[in-house]
Structure 1
Amino acid sequence: MPYVIGADLPQEPAGERFRALLDRPEILGMPGAHLGIAGLLAKKHGFEALYLSGAAMSASMGLPDLGMITIEDVCFFIRQVARSTGLPLLVDGDTGYGEALNVMHMVRAFEDAGAGAVHLEDQLLPKKCGHLNDKKLASADEMCAKVAAAHRARRHLYIIARTDAVASEGMDAAVARAQRYLEAGADAIFPEALTTVEMFREFRARMPGVKLLANMTEFGRTPFLTKEEFQALGYDMVIWPVTHLRIAAKAWDQLYAQIAAEGGAQNAVDRMQTRAELYETIGYHKYEELDASLVRTIIPTAMPQ
C-alpha cells in the first residue's frame, strides 16, 4: 500500500500518551531532540519520548537562552518533531512567555502543535539557565497563578512545574514552593540544579508520591548520573537537554575549520552520514512513492575519480 503522509501518526492526544509512559514503573528517559532529523534518530534507538530545550532552540536560532524566543518560534520546533516522529514531546516553556493569560495561550498553542507536556519555571525575565548564578525568582504566588492558568487551559497537556529555588532560597523553600505548585494544578515537579546525590535523595524523600523530573545536563552543577542511577534515587523522568546540540555544534565547528584549512571536505567524508543513511532516516523513498510519475532515485555509492 502506498505511503500516506501522516497516516502512521498516533490519533490519541500526545498528553495522554505521555501520561501512559509515566504510569510504567521504569524511569522515562528523554534526550534533547529539537529538530526533526534528531527526533528520528533518537526514535531509531528506542526512545519513546523526546525533550525540546529552550536553550537548544535558542542556540539554533543564534540566540542566547535568556527568554528571547516566542511561542510561535517554539511551535515551529514542536510541529516538525511531532510530525516526523509521532512521539510525545516534553517542551521547555521557560517562564510562560508572560503572565497568566500568556501561559494559557502557550498551553493551547503547544497542544495544537503536538506537544505532550510542558514545564514552567519560577524565574523572572530575563531568565537564565538553571545552572548559572544570580537567578531571580518570581514569588510563589506569581508562579502558582501561572500553574493554575496552565491547568485551566489544558485539554491534555501534562504540566510540570520547575523550581529554581534550591540555589538561592534553600531546600526547605524549594520543597514548600513545589507543594504549592502541586496544589495549583501541576502534575509533576522539576527541581533544578541540584548539586549532589544527597540533594536528589532528600528532595525525593520530602515529596513522596510525586512525579519528579531530573535534569542531566553537561557543564552544569549536577554530577554525572545515569538513567538507572536516577531511577534508584526515585526519579520518574530524566532529560539530557542540550547534549545533542553540543555534539552537533562541535562537529560543525570542526568541519568548517577543516574546509577553511584544506579547501574542501574531502577528508571529512568518513565522519559523514552517507546519502543512503540520510534517505533511510527521513524516509525519502516513502515520499517519493507518493508521486508515481517520479523515477526511483538511484543513490551514488562512490565519488567520481
Structure 2
Amino acid sequence: MLHARTSPAAKRAVLRERLATAEQPLRLPGAFNAPTARLIEELGFEGVYVSGSVVAADLGLPDVGLTTLSELAHRAGQIARMTDLGTLVDAAAGYGEPMNVARTVQVLEDHGLAGCHIEDQVHPSRCGQGDCAPTVGVATAVHRIRAAVDARRDGNFLVVARTLVRAAAGLDGTVERARALVGAGADVVFPEGLRDLREFEAVVRAVDVPVLADMSELGGSALFTVRQLADAGVRMIVYPVTLLRLAMGVVERGLGVLATQGTQAALVPEMQTPARLDELLDAPAYTAFDELIYTYRPDGTEE
C-alpha cells in the first residue's frame, strides 16, 4: 500500500548486483505511468525505465529540451515508488553545466531513482536519436560524468554515460568517447545509434563496464532480440517508448470506434477490467486499512 516495501537504497543495491551477476541482459521497459511499473514487475522484467521523451509527451510537449528537472524527478519518483524494481531515468544532459548535473543526481536520488543516464548532447537536448543530435566535446562530456559520480551519496546509484557521437564520429569515435567516459567514472556505457551487432561487440570489447542497448522502435538501431544482444555482450536493454506507443495507438483506434459507432461496446473486451486495475493499485489494502484503524471523521468525532 502507498509505496513499494523495498527501500530506494535496497533497490539500487539489487539492480547493481543483478547487472554484475545476471546471465542475461537486464530488461527495462519504459513505464509511462505508475501502474505500468507494477505491470513491468509482475511480468518478470528486471528493472523499470523512465524516458525523457515520454515524460515530455505526458506534459503535452515534444522532446526538445523543455522539460525541467523538477518535472522529470516528480514523474519518475511517482513511477519508482510503485515497484520493488530499480528504476533508471533519462536525465538528458543533466539540465545544465556540471554543477547542474551534480544537483540532478542528488535530486533523483531523493526521489527514489536507482540511476540515471547523462548524455553528451549539447544542452538543452533537442533530439534523442539519430543524426540530429549535436554533441559536446570530450572534455565537457567527461566533466558531466565526473560531476554525477562525485555528487551521488549512494555508491549504488548507477551513473550511465550516454554518447551520441556515432553519427558524426563513427564507430571509432564512439569507442574513444566511451573509454573517456568510463575513465571519468561511468558505471555503464550507453552508445546510441550503433548500426549493427558488430558495433555493439566492438564497444563491449573496448570498455570494462557494462554496455546498455537502446531498443527504440521507428529509428536508431535495428530491433535485436535479447539473445542477439546477449551474444554481443550487452548487459542492459531499455525499451524507452514501446508501452506509450502501444497505449496511444490503442487509445486512438478506440476513439475512432467510439466516434463512428456511437458506443464503446465493441471495445469492452479489449479493456483492462476495474478489478484488475484495483489489483495493480493494491486497492484492497487501502480498504483493509480503513476498516482496521481508521479513526478520523470529518465532523471531528472519533470512534
- What's the CA shift string for 1:267-287, capped at 9, x where partnerless? 210110011111111111111
> What residue is the counterpart of 2:62 in the other structure?
64
Aligned length: 291
> What residue is the counterpart of 1:200 in the other structure?
200
Distance 1:249 1:34 in 2: 11
Does 2:17 align with 1:20?
Answer: yes
> What residue is the counterpart of 2:36 in the other structure?
38
* Deviation (angstroms), 1:13: 4.1
- What's the CA shift string for 1:255-276, capped at 9, x where partnerless? 1222222223122101100111
* Deviation (angstroms), 1:289: 1.0
* Deviation (angstroms), 1:158: 0.8
- What's the CA shift string for 1:78-117, capped at 9, x where partnerless? 2212211122111101010011111111101100101001
Does 2:191 align with 1:191?
Answer: yes
8 Å CA contact 1:164, 1:191 repeated in 2:
yes
Distance 2:134 2:224 in 1: 27
Counterpart residue type for residue 206 of structure 1: A
* Deviation (angstroms), 1:162: 0.6
* Deviation (angstroms), 1:228: 1.6
* Deviation (angstroms), 1:28: 0.7
Query: So what's the TM-score if we normalise by structure 1?
Result: 0.90
- What's the CA shift string for 1:116-152, capped at 9, x where partnerless? 0110110013424443323211111111111111111
* Unaligned segments of structure 1, at least 5 residues: 295-305
Give the stretch that moved more between structures: 6-15 or 281-290: 6-15
> What residue is the counterpart of 2:110 in the other structure?
112
8 Å CA contact 1:18, 1:117 repeated in 2:
no
Taking the TM superposition and a 5 Å limit, the aligned residue runs for 1:1-305 are: 5-6=2-3, 8-10=5-7, 12-26=9-23, 27-156=25-154, 157-207=157-207, 209-292=208-291
> What residue is the counterpart of 1:301 in the other structure?
none
* Deviation (angstroms), 1:75: 1.3
Distance 2:147 2:129 in 1: 27
8 Å CA contact 1:50, 1:88 repeated in 2:
yes
Give the stretch that moved more between structures: 11-20 or 166-175: 11-20
Distance 2:77 2:222 in 1: 33
Relative to structure 1, the CA distance from residue 22 to residue 133 in structure 2 (aligned partners, 3 Å threshold; closer, same or farther) is same
> What residue is the counterpart of 1:299 in the other structure?
none
Structure 1 residue runs of 4 or more that deviate by more than 3 Å after TM superposition:
4-7, 10-14
8 Å CA contact 1:57, 1:77 repeated in 2:
yes
Distance 2:73 2:236 in 1: 23
What SS class does the counterpart of residue 174 from structure 1 fall into? helix
Counterpart residue type for residue 221 of structure 2: T
8 Å CA contact 1:34, 1:51 repeated in 2:
no
Distance 2:32 2:247 in 1: 12
> What residue is the counterpart of 1:300 in the other structure?
none
What SS class does the counterpart of residue 263 from structure 2 fall into? coil
8 Å CA contact 1:54, 1:92 repeated in 2:
yes
Query: So what's the TM-score if we normalise by structure 2?
Result: 0.91
- What's the CA shift string for 1:279-305, capped at 9, x where partnerless? 1111111111110189xxxxxxxxxxx
Counterpart residue type for residue 101 of structure 1: M
Distance 1:112 1:130 in 2: 25
What SS class does the counterpart of residue 85 from structure 1 fall into? coil
The root-mean-square deviation of aligned C-alpha atoms, in Å, is 1.8
Distance 1:184 1:270 in 2: 52
Distance 2:130 2:77 in 1: 30
